[in-house]
Structure formats: C-alpha cells, structure tokens
Structure 1
Amino acid sequence: MSEQEGGNGSSKSSSLTNYEEALEALSSLIIRRTRADGSNFGDQFDVLFVYLKMLDLEEQISNMKIIHVAGTKGKGSTCTFTESILRNCGFRTGLFTSPHLIDIRERFRLNGIEISQEKFLAYFWWCYDRLKEKTDDNVPMPNYFRFLALLAFKIFAEEQVDVAIMEVGLGGKYDATNVVKEPIVCGITSLGYDHMEILGNTLGEIAGEKAGIFKDRIPAFTVPQPEEAMHVLEDKASKLNVPLQVVPPLDAKLLNGLTLGLEGEHQYLNAALAIALCSTWLKRTGNIGDAYLERTDTLPEQFIKGLTSASLQGRAQIVSDMHFKNDQSNELVFFLDGAHSPESMEVCARWFSLAIKDNSPDEMLFHRQLDNPKSSHDVVKMQHGERGAQRKSAPILLFNCLTVRDPQLLLPRLMETCADHDRSSKSVGKSHARQKTGTITDIVPEELKDDIEMSASNCEHSAVFSSLPVAIKWLRDRSQQNQSVRFQVLVTGSLHLVGDVLKLVKK
C-alpha cells in the first residue's frame, strides 16, 4: 500500500481510541445470516467481485499462491500446521482463520504472528473508507465476515506473502474466501453436522457446500469421510476434473520421537492433510520435484519442526488461572477446547479424559518436588510414602453453546465419552448466552433457562450462572475454600466461550 493510499489509515493508526473506533465500525457490519436463498448468503455471492473491483484486488488475488481449506472440524488446526510447515521451509506466510478468541487481529497472521495494531488499522481504514465511499443502496457495505476476508486479501497482497493460507468461514461455495478462482491446492477437513440452519440437514448437503471450493483441475485432498459425504465430494471432484486424494492419519513414527504441537489423537489426521497440502503447494510452485512427494518413509526436517512447533489457542489448550499465580496453594486449571459439534464433543472428551490423567495432582506435584529435592532421602520418602496424601482432583465442566446449537445434542456425547474413560464430569457451571458482537453477553436469556437445566439434569451436580464472570468467581472461591483439591475445569461448547474464559483467567 503506497503512502498516499495508506494516508488516511496511517493518520489514524496510533491510538487505542482509534482501534476501538475500528472495532465499532466493524461491529456495524454484523447482520444475521440465513439459508442460501437470502440476500446475505447465496444469491448475492457475485457482489463480492464488485467489492474486489472497488478495492483493486482482482489482479492481486490472481497472483497469490493460495491454499484454500474448508471442512467442519479441524480447519483451524490444519491451516495452522500448514502455515507452520511452510514458514519453517523459509517462506513468508499469511494465515487467515476464524473466529478470533480475544483480539480480532488473531485472524490475520504474518509469518505466524498476528498483525500489529498499526498495520491492522492502516489496512482496515483504507478498505473501510474506500468501500464506504463507493457502496450505495444497490451495493451496500459487505457484512462482517465478508469485510474481514476482503481485508485479509488486501493485507496479504500488500505484505507480499509467498503463500496465503485461507480458512473458509462457513460452508465453502458461497463463503467470502471463495472469490479465489485458481488456488494452488484445496483441502477438505473432517465433515460433520454443523451450521445446519445454513448448510443443510444431511451430510450430503453439507459436503456439497464444502466442495464448492473445488476448482477446475486444481488438486484437492481430504481425509476419510462418512460414506454419504465422500460420495458427494467424489462426484463434485469428478465433474470439475479435480484430482481428489484421501490422506490417512500421520504415522507418529515419522516425527522421530517428537509430538505434534497441537494435542489430541485427531490432530494426526489434520497434520497428514497439512503435509499433503504443503507438498503439493511446493511442487506446483516449482520448489520441489515429484521424487520428493513419493517418499513415505520420512519427513523433511522443516516439516517435522513445523508440525511439532505449531500452536493454536483454544484447541486442546491447558491454562492455569493467573488469579492464583502468586499462591501455590491454590490450583485451578482450565482445559480449553472450542468443540461445538456432536462429533467434536467426542474428540474433546477423549482428549480431556487423557489430559487429566497426564496432569493428575499426584504426578504434577511429585515431579515438581523431584525437580528440587532436599536430599536423596526425600526422594525415596516421596516415592514410597507421601504421594497418597497429595491433592484430590475435581473434574468440572463449564459449558456454553450459541442459541443456534442444541445443548441436548452436544452434552450427552460429551458426558457419555467421558464416562467411557471411567471419569465423571460434574457440570457445576453453565453460562449460556446469546452471541453479541463476537463475545458472550452477561445476561442469560430467560427463554434458555429451561433448556439449560434440562440438559444438565443428567449430571450429579449442576448450576446455571447469570454470567461468565460470576461462574469464574464461583470456581475461584471454591478453589480457595478447598485447597486440598485441584480443580480441573473443561471449558467447551463454543470458541467464543473459550475466548472469554482466556480473557478472564489470563488477567
């Protein structure tokens, strides 16, 4: 972006007040999305190309070397692995994902780091002011997500990234990221039931929307899918002459004894998809030859480093409450995962069940003491006598889902899977609320209370709190009152909930 072009943005980019003004302007673009027959989704998809002309982005996007990823589960993880691999291969990367957890700038990453506030504001106001000037009643301002996608393309074009990894926000066919006409390679992660009010009621319909990112003769990869979904993907690929390949989970042996940067068994599937996307991107951009792709017995060092160093907030993340950072006698640990579909609830429950075993109070305190024992006698004493007196653990569920999702579909899958792992999750804190401006409001709608209490009825203990801060305060109070207990809190059901919990516990 030239100095002249960026003048308006640059003059505004220095103050916190201006950042808040930008967020207010962005919030004004939030509108309700409906099925693919409304003016905001589907029929008016072509208006996106009008916006591209307004922003002079058509040629810039056509010159980008883009990796495009859709799916129900694992999109963010797959894109994160992909970005990390290519960055470690020496390329300048741009990564666009959604949603954000704490700050909108998380959605735009340059070389693995969220864009600076100064750059964000410069590009934001350049795009916003130009669109505001050129749109009218016939072509209104783009909605919230469409604007963010356009902003991502502007940022990556001006920052001259070598590769742009674009995560689909919703669906695929009518998603704002699908203005890309010739990506280098496409990926479809695991498919399941989500956003059914928009994408359709069957896996076939959902798969059809996701396959909307396929482009004529552009290679695509997916992971093993349910038969109904796979049939649709294969049919769509065939009609567009798309060479579609299915990748199996990554063999952990290829990591040379290391572990993936993102936790959970399901990540080996996302990692395998990322490897296929990166390998194909490298080949099609002239950076490697065919022989490289044919090797199945080893991974390049850069790939291993990328996979093992990847990080993503809110997915299988473990965080201790910073409220007690100076008080070692209190232990309140949050296990955060933004699962929000029935299938991802099962994956989340399996991860949590294993994670609380690996992070049991006995093991954690025992190893912490062994790091600095007073004497060899103390080590023997702890090994044989003291571990039985260590803290008990208390698994707790803090759950929330947006009003478009049914807690009675999500909670049973979560609880049943936890039970299969011989663990009981006591649901003591449920903060249900409507989504507002990308965050959780502090008011529980009266019409939701019956559904919440009904979905909690299968738990031994349950309670509904009026707001998330109240629920967190309850947990902190219990932790202080029961210092012999280590509270292990699973936070799931919504990425928005996870983001709001992170804001509170990291203060």
Structure 2
Amino acid sequence: MASCLTSIRSSRVVRLPRLTPFLNRSAIHHSLESLLFKRSQSSVKMADRTYESALRHLDSIQSNRHVTSLFTAPPPSSSSSKPTAQDLNAQAIPEMLQWLSRAGLTPASLAAAGLRCVHVAGTKGKGSVCAYVTSILLSPPAASAAGRVGTYTSPHLVTVRERIQLDGRPISRPLFARYFFEVWDALTASARAEAAASGQRIPEEELRGPASKPFYFRFLTILAFHAFLREGVRSAVVECGIGGEYDSTNVLPADAVTAAVVTRLGIDHVGMLGATLPEIAWHKAGVCKAGRKCFTLRAEGEDGDETMRVLRQRAAEKNALLVEVDSAELEGWDRERVTAGSLDGDFQKSNQALALLAASEHLRVLAEEAAAANPASPHLRANEEPPLLQVLGTRFASGLRSARLRGRCETLRDGDVTWFVDGAHTAESLAETAGWFAQKYEGLPSNPKLVLLFNQQERDVAKLLRGLHEGIEKRLGRVTFSCAVFTRNELLPAAVGEPERDLSVQRTAADVMEKGAHGVKTIVTDNVGDAVEKIKAIQRDEGVEVVVLATGSLHLVGALLRTLEPDGEL
C-alpha cells in the first residue's frame, strides 16, 4: 500500500490518460477515501437512494478548494513540479467534455433538447443578476414565452439544493436524490466500460466510489444540466463558478446560449485568473458566443480603457456582439419608480440593468426561434433591438421587485437584535457593503449598540477589515462599532478529541480592529454558534437594542443563517 500511495501522489496532477482519467484525478482521495467509502457507502443499494445518502456521496468527492489550491504558486524555495495555471486551465474544458460524455450528455444534446441559457460571468453581482433574470422570466409578461425556468448558481449558503433551482425554488429533496444517482450511476457505468475496454482490472468498489467521479463543481454542473433536461426546462440562467473561458459551465454551445453577461470586474482568484482587471476580463469574456450578444458595464477608472479593449477584442474573436452599458445610461434610468422592494443596495441598479437587457434578449431569441419554426404564424415576431432601460424596467417591474437572494444585503430581525447580512468577500464588494450598511444605519430610528461579526479565512483579513471600517467611518463620520466578534466559519464548537482550531486569522483581525477603532471591544470564537450567543448576550445583559453587521465571507453567512434559522430545510 505504501508504494502504491507514493506512486499515486507523484502522478496526482499529471495529464489524465484518454481512456481512464478517473484513475489519477485524485491521489490520496482515490486510495484512502475510497477505503472509507467502501466501508460505509460505495455499494449503493436501491433502498439507500435517499437524499441523505446523496449528500454523503457528494461529500466524498474531491472538493473545489483542493482544485483551486492547485493554482497557488509554490514558495520560491520549493522544488515542486506543480503544473502552471496555464497547464491546468488548458485541461479544463477537454476534461469537462469527457465527464459530460460519461454522464450521457454532449453540448449538442443540450442544445437539441431545447435548453436555452443566459450565461453569467463576472466578479461582483453575478448572483444578483441571476436572481433578477430568473425573476423576470417567471413574471407574467415573460412566463409563457420563457417556459419552465431553471437556475444554476454557486456557492450555496445553507443547502446544496439552492444551486439548482426550478422555477425559482431549490430543487426538492426527492428530485435531487433521483437525478443525483442517475448521474452517479452513469459515471460508474462509464468507468466500468472504459476499464474493461482497456483491459484494466479495477475493484468494483472503486468504480462505484468517488475515484470515478469529477470534482464537486463539475459534478454539480453536470447534475444541473441533467436535471434541467429531465424536468423540461426551456429557459436556464447559468452562473459561472470561477472565470469563464475555462469554467465548467462553458461547455454550453452557442446554440444553447441566448445571451451572455459579464458583470462588474474585480481582483479575485488571482492564481487562476491573473492579477489585473484586463487579465481577468480575458477569462470572463470566455462566455461570449458566436452570433450572440454579451452585455457588460463599461469599465472606468485606471484600468478601464485597457479592460474594455480586452473585452471588445475577445468578443470580436468569438464573433459575438458586446453591448456596453455606460454610467450615463444608468444615471438616466429612474429605477426607483419601479423597483421598490427589490434586492437591497444602491449598487443593484447596474445589476438590474444587465438583467433586464439579458432577459429581453433571451426572450427575443426565443421568439426568433419560434418564428423560424412557425413561419406562417403572424403573431410570432422578434424585435431586433431591446428597448431602453426605462421601458424594460416598467415592463418587467414585477420581476425586479420579486427577486430575492439570500445572504446578500439581507436584513433579519430576531427580537431586539437586527442582523444586516452580506456575504461580501473582496475589497470592492466590502466597499459596497460599507455604503449599504451606513445607509441602513442612518435610517434607524434609535441609537442602538453596533456590533460587527466578521471573518475572511483565505484573503488578507487585515486589508479587508480596514477597508470596511474606513468605508463606514467615511460615510458616517465617526467610529461605529462598540464590539467586534471574529469567528471561524464552523457552525458548532469542536467535538471532543478534535484538534484545537487555528484562530490566528481571527486574532489578527481583532488586533487590527483594536488599533483602528479606539475603545472597541473584540471577541474571538472558533465557531459561529458561540459568536451568535455572545452577541445575544450583549442584548440580554445590557438590555439595549443591538444591530449587527455580519460580513466578510459567504461561508460565514451560511453558518449564520443555519444558526438563526435552525428549523430551515437543509
């Protein structure tokens, strides 16, 4: 076993063989975890095809975090033979196409089944744009033409079913389990057939287990496409995971895409996408499709001209039409008249604009296809150009107003504690959170005790925290928080026997806060449950109204929602 593990580790990130890429896609995962899987769940019986069993199987496959970690450069002194980001990126789409084929799907089959998608890339606002487009397509002016609507987004906050929505609601537990095992079994059967064809003798438990499956995001992407086809989805809203050009969702062919969107750009996932906005723009514009429109915001600022040059060049290379929305057009749109009650935050105006344009284009393409299929019908006609934002905003006002997105600029009330919750986790998005929170604070009728609940486990916590605090202080003109709680993202305390959790990030954040905001009390915890209890204790002990800003991480927000809503369906 030792020699086997050594061999597998050494080949962990080598280019995968054509017939059996599942054999070395994961090293320790393939050997050690398959042993655990064999004991508990690899031999899936019909009686065990439950939702809970599907979740256990899903948890057994390789995580997204492991894959993204491959893009982190080794230390300068390291002699690691780690492949470059370029090498890994170049493998992404060919590998995804192979996995798609093993599940019984092809890009052509997605288009042939009638699936038509709005494909959304970007750094900030992707989730909001997806929520708006989904809601617009479900609204009365669009519903009959759009047909059944599916939405695929990431990450999830509370339950993985949030990622795959049918008509605006997370897929049900029974449907998730049914389609999960249909995909799982198809991949197992393909692995078995490939092993037999190549003369390899692979234990059945390994064929049935996680070693013959793609990593987490790829599997869920395939599952979403499979569910959409099985459920008769006509219109789908598909969000990229990371980037665009090499993202797993970019196996969608031009015939299955009606419109693309590139939302606001920011610096994130540097190892995979680059360290400048133009570099990142190159990846995001990968969703442009031949003969289709791609809607984006005209970039401004220091890198604006170069960023737009890259976006225009990429669109031209892909024979797509880039439609740019500039600040003047946004300023001229009186969205407040029609969107009261929509997703919170002034910055949503640009996301609403992109969603209106993309949804309108989606409906135009559907009408164009319907007219081509029924040339004798005088009622089927496609407008060549979308109307102005003001017209679209009025037409689809109900869709804009009914859009919802958990964990983004969300307000929750629990007795005398009010929670302002936003999953912002980059410098740019936290700047927007600062503006949103300051606006909310100015509208409060009283002078409550303010508490910050914060974590960011992977990025520069000190830089992000300073930016957030300075942004709020600039807007309000004074230090705002009397207490700041810094926690890890785990839901509950460590179990008996579990190693002590590393709190170095949280202590660094507390130190930064104490130095930057004189007089603030800081608390460090190793789980969100304890953090919430400490905040509630402030309200109980002091008998005052407490307002909390919870931000810095979507993982933190997900754990917070599960803590505040323990009876919510997982």
The answer as to 2:528 corresponding to 1:468 is: yes
Contact (CA 8 Å) 1:336, 1:491: kept in 2 or not?
yes
**What does residue 18 of structure 1 align with?**
53
**What does residue 393 of structure 1 align with?**
448
The answer as to 2:308 corresponding to 1:230 is: yes
**What does residue 125 of structure 1 align with?**
181
Deviation sequence 1:254-298 (CA, Å, 0-9, x none)? 564541510111101000000110111111221653277234542
Structure 1 Cα separation of the partners of residues 230 and 240 of structure 2: 21
The answer as to 2:470 corresponding to 1:416 is: yes
Structure 1 Cα separation of the partners of residues 158 and 431 of structure 2: 25
| 3-state SS in 1 of match to 2:523 | coil
**What does residue 65 of structure 1 align with?**
116
Deviation sequence 1:308-333 (CA, Å, 0-9, x none)? 11001001000123xx4xxxxxx111
Note closer, same or farther for the CA distance 1:67–1:101 as it changes in structure 2 (3 Å cut): same
Structure 1 Cα separation of the partners of residues 488 and 550 of structure 2: 12
Alignment of 1:279-298 (within 5 A): 279-286=360-367, 289-290=382-383, 293-298=386-391
CA RMSD of aligned residues (A): 2.8
Note closer, same or farther for the CA distance 1:347–1:51 as it changes in structure 2 (3 Å cut): same
**What does residue 353 of structure 2 align with?**
272
Note closer, same or farther for the CA distance 1:178–1:114 as it changes in structure 2 (3 Å cut): same
Structure 2 Cα separation of the partners of residues 77 and 296 of structure 1: 17
**What does residue 378 of structure 1 align with?**
none
Contact (CA 8 Å) 1:81, 1:271: kept in 2 or not?
yes
**What does residue 388 of structure 1 align with?**
none
**What does residue 502 of structure 1 align with?**
561
Amino acid at match of 1:217: G
Structure 1 Cα separation of the partners of residues 65 and 547 of structure 2: 35
**What does residue 368 of structure 1 align with?**
none
Contact (CA 8 Å) 1:66, 1:185: kept in 2 or not?
yes
**What does residue 138 of structure 2 align with?**
87
Q: Which runs of 5 or more residues in structure 1 are unaligned?
A: 1-7, 325-330, 363-391
**What does residue 294 of structure 2 align with?**
220
Contact (CA 8 Å) 1:19, 1:121: kept in 2 or not?
yes
Structure 2 Cα separation of the partners of residues 12 and 465 of structure 1: 38
Amino acid at match of 1:37: A
Amino acid at match of 2:470: E
Note closer, same or farther for the CA distance 1:28–1:266 as it changes in structure 2 (3 Å cut): closer
**What does residue 402 of structure 1 align with?**
457
Question: Which is worse superposed, 290-299 or 230-239?
Answer: 290-299
Alignment of 1:445-464 (within 5 A): 445-448=502-505, 451-456=508-513, 457-460=515-518, 461=520, 462-464=522-524
Contact (CA 8 Å) 1:250, 1:271: kept in 2 or not?
no
Structure 2 Cα separation of the partners of residues 268 and 353 of structure 1: 18
Deviation sequence 1:13-42 (CA, Å, 0-9, x none)? 5x5643543443456786332336377644
Question: Which is worse superposed, 75-84 or 210-219?
Answer: 210-219
Q: Which runs of 5 or more residues in structure 2 are unaligned?
A: 1-43, 72-83, 199-210, 369-380, 493-497
**What does residue 85 of structure 2 align with?**
37
Structure 2 Cα separation of the partners of residues 305 and 10 of structure 1: 44
The answer as to 2:246 corresponding to 1:153 is: no
Note closer, same or farther for the CA distance 1:455–1:305 as it changes in structure 2 (3 Å cut): same
| 3-state SS in 2 of match to 1:31 | helix
The answer as to 2:287 corresponding to 1:206 is: no
Structure 2 Cα separation of the partners of residues 80 and 60 of structure 1: 26
Contact (CA 8 Å) 1:399, 1:492: kept in 2 or not?
yes
Give the drift of 1:350: 0.4
Amino acid at match of 2:351: N
Deviation sequence 1:381-423 (CA, Å, 0-9, x none)? xxxxxxxxxxx311211111132x1112211221111011215
Note closer, same or farther for the CA distance 1:17–1:68 as it changes in structure 2 (3 Å cut): closer
Alignment of 1:81-480 (within 5 A): 81-88=132-139, 89-90=142-143, 91=146, 92-135=148-191, 140-182=212-254, 183-226=257-300, 227=304, 228-248=306-326, 249=330, 253-254=334-335, 256-259=337-340, 261-286=342-367, 289-290=382-383, 293-299=386-392, 303-321=396-414, 324=415, 331-358=416-443, 360-362=444-446, 392-403=447-458, 405-422=459-476, 423-426=478-481, 427-432=483-488, 444-448=501-505, 451-456=508-513, 457-460=515-518, 461=520, 462-480=522-540
Structure 2 Cα separation of the partners of residues 258 and 73 of structure 1: 20
| 3-state SS in 2 of match to 1:473 | helix
Note closer, same or farther for the CA distance 1:297–1:252 as it changes in structure 2 (3 Å cut): closer
Contact (CA 8 Å) 1:48, 1:179: kept in 2 or not?
yes
Amino acid at match of 1:493: G
| 3-state SS in 2 of match to 1:201 | coil
> Percent identity of the aligned residues?
31
**What does residue 377 of structure 2 align with?**
none
Structure 1 Cα separation of the partners of residues 307 and 45 of structure 2: 45
Q: What count of residue pairs does the alignment treat as equivalent?
A: 455
Note closer, same or farther for the CA distance 1:295–1:407 as it changes in structure 2 (3 Å cut): closer
Contact (CA 8 Å) 1:444, 1:467: kept in 2 or not?
no
Amino acid at match of 1:340: H
Amino acid at match of 1:341: T
Amino acid at match of 2:396: F
Structure 2 Cα separation of the partners of residues 395 and 450 of structure 1: 20
Structure 1 Cα separation of the partners of residues 473 and 165 of structure 2: 39
Note closer, same or farther for the CA distance 1:443–1:352 as it changes in structure 2 (3 Å cut): farther
| 3-state SS in 1 of match to 2:419 | strand
Contact (CA 8 Å) 1:361, 1:486: kept in 2 or not?
no
Question: Which is worse superposed, 76-85 or 222-231?
Answer: 222-231
| 3-state SS in 1 of match to 2:346 | coil
Deviation sequence 1:353-394 (CA, Å, 0-9, x none)? 111222x243xxxxxxxxxxxxxxxxxxxxxxxxxxxxx311
TM-score, normalising length from structure 1?
A: 0.83
TM-score, normalising length from structure 2?
A: 0.74
